[in-house]
Amino acid sequence: MGMGRGAGRSALGFWPTLAFLLCSFPAATSPCKILKCNSEFWSATAGSHSPTSDDAPEFCAALRTYALCTRRTARTCRGDLAYHSAVHGIEDLMSQYNCSKDGPTSQPRLRTLPPPGDSQERSDSPEICHYEKSFHKHAAAPNYTHCGLFGDPHLRTFTDRFQTCKVQGAWPLIDNNYLNVQVTNTPVLPGSAATATSKLTIIFKNFQECVDQKVYQAEMDEPPAAFADGSKNGGDKHGANSLKITEKVSGQHVEIQAKYIGTTIVVRQVGRYLTFAVRMPEEVVNAVEDRDSQGLYLCLRGCPLNQQIDFQAFRANAEGPGTRRPAAASPAPAAPDTFPYETAVAKCKEKLPVEDLYYQACVFDLLTTGDVNFTLAAYYALEDVKMLHSNKDRLHLYERTREPPGRAAAVGLPPAPRPLLGSLLLLTLLPAVLEAVAA
């Protein structure tokens, strides 16, 4: 079951669903009591994965008790992912087993927790704190999204918009109920508007039964293969192993698996600077208390318009004077004299043969920084997309037109970025088109 799924979705097996819900409850200080409701239902059903017709009345009674418990805590659980998931799950299960809303309820049985043991290998952690196992094998798989930041810097949002931005200083990439990600971008060249990511901070928020709060912080020179406290997992709780850090390439490539929220994060150091990529379920992406406060959440909303670099104007200036510069977005910094355009194109072609936005970003970065390491930054960013993006038909992005203001406002998002290089092809062909029309 997933929060926000439409009508007609397949009902999920209640046991794996509750496994995720028991992992996804708020901290002990929260007034939301959804954990109590989840635990009581778990106990009342006694682990029955597929109730038979003889068990259906008792199972329906447990569901009605579960529903009553959620209604009692509704006021204090506003915006809580586990609460909304439970409500949707109850509806699905009552429909699947033809349970009436009116009828007897059941008394909960006490659940016996496993004895304490090694936090790395708890017997219940794989199911209780494993997002993907909460989805029944016959149900639709969760919808995953991807966000990435690399280079000078280029942002691919959760909605597959591609932007080139300035965003100097500290900016939030992700800010939801489960984790926060913040990047700090510094100038690549003295006095230049070109920036790249020099610091990355990720905060995984505390979840009882699953993980303690953990902070990961990487800076230039070498991304660490551990959290700030020196640990490599989620702490001393039953589900601690649902959060793990793995060093893929020493000093260059770290992967963080947060299975309890179905999330994978890739941090790389390429040259002097950092890159970031994430794969995250849509319902985790959208698990925010107050959407009105999400205006600077770059992975969701994109860069503010005044922070977007007008690549089109930059390229026109690089190729010659006389081209009018559009005024809606900020121009890019001047290109270093030491890196000719033809050389930049040739170097990017070696690693990125498809002329998509990653290739174009590579060319842009070499022209603005003169640093050949940015070729690898674009290359690895695309490799991360291939690994993390759920839609294999959307790996390569090409030119996209600006969204109409009305459409952008309707979904609460800023307009899409200006096209990068593809529009330049139109400028190149324009004289020929005009000549043909005149003839």
Q: Which residue has the tokens 């007609």?
A: 8
| CA 131, 134, 136, 142 torsion-angle sign | negative
3-class state of residue 5 by DSSP: coil
Mean pLDDT of 87-102: 86
Mean pLDDT of all residues in 202-209: 85
Lowest-pLDDT choice from 29-38, 169-178, 418-427: 418-427
Class (C level, CATH) for 127-311 = alpha beta
- At 314, give phi and psi (nearest 5°): -60, -45
What pLDDT shows up at residue 131? 85
Is residue 365 helix, strand or coil? helix
For residue 410, which amino acid is it?
A: A
- CA neighbor of 380 nearest in space, from 144, 148, 216: 148
Burial of 22 (0-12, 13-18, 19+ CB in 10 A): buried
Query: How much of the chain exceeds pLDDT 90, in percent?
Result: 31
Q: Which of 28, 18, 29, 31 is nearest to 73 (CA)?
A: 31
Report DSSP letters for 45-88, one per residue: HTT-SS--TTTHHHHHHHHHHHHHHHHHTGGGGTT-HHHHHHHH
Helices 81-96 & 56-72, crossing angle to 10 degrees? 150
Confidence of residue 1 (pLDDT cuts 50, 70, 90): very low
pTM of the model: 0.62
For the cut 50, the answer to whether the pLDDT of residue 398 exceeds it is yes
Tokens of 219: 């800076």
Report, as an integer, the average pLDDT of 145-152: 95
Query: Cα separation of 105 and 87, whole Å?
Result: 17
CA dihedral for 91, 97, 98, 100, sign (positive or negative): negative
With 80 as the cut, is the pLDDT of residue 219 above it?
Answer: yes
Q: What is the pLDDT of residues 12-21, one digit of tens each?
A: 444 444 544 4
- Other CB atoms closer than 10 Å to residue 42's CB: what's the count? 22
421/32 Cα distance (integer angstroms): 50
Q: Is residue 280 pLDDT above 80, yes or no?
A: yes
For the chain, the distance separating the N- and C-terminal CA atoms, rounded to the nearest angstrom, is 62
- Across all residues in the chain, what is the average pLDDT? 74
* pLDDT on residue 312: 58
Residue extents of the structural domains in the chain:
33-97, 127-311
Which helix (H) or strand (E) covers residue 374, if one does? helix 373-388
- Compute the average pLDDT of residues 177-196: 87
Helix (H) or strand (E) holding 435: helix 422-438
pLDDT of residue 385: 94
Residue 338 predicted with pLDDT over 80: no
377 CB-contact burial (10 Å; exposed 0-12 / middle 13-18 / buried 19+): buried
Amino acid letter at 16? P
Return the SS3 of 379.
helix
Q: Which two tokens stand for residue 383?
A: 């490799």
Percentages helix, strand, coil for the chain (3-state, rounded to 5) are 35, 20, 45
CA angle 211, 215, 221 (to 5 degrees): 140
Alpha carbon distance 225, 256 (integer Å): 9
**Between 104 and 267, residue with greater pLDDT:** 267
What average pLDDT score do residues 226-246 get?
89
User: In this predicted structure, what is the pLDDT of residue 75?
Assistant: 79
DSSP letter for each residue of 294-344: -TT-HHHH---GGGBEEHHHHHHHHH-S-PPPPSSSEEPPPPPTTS-HHHH
**Which of 80-84, 173-177, 249-253, 314-318 is predicted with the least confidence, judged by mean pLDDT?**
314-318
Give me the helices (H) in 166-296, please: 282-285
Q: Are 70 and 86 in contact (CB under 8 A)?
A: yes
Range scoring the smallest mean pLDDT among 152-166, 183-197, 240-254: 183-197
Pairing state between β 169-175 and 214-219: unpaired
Give yes or no for a contact between 357 and 420, defined as CB atoms under 8 angstroms apart.
yes
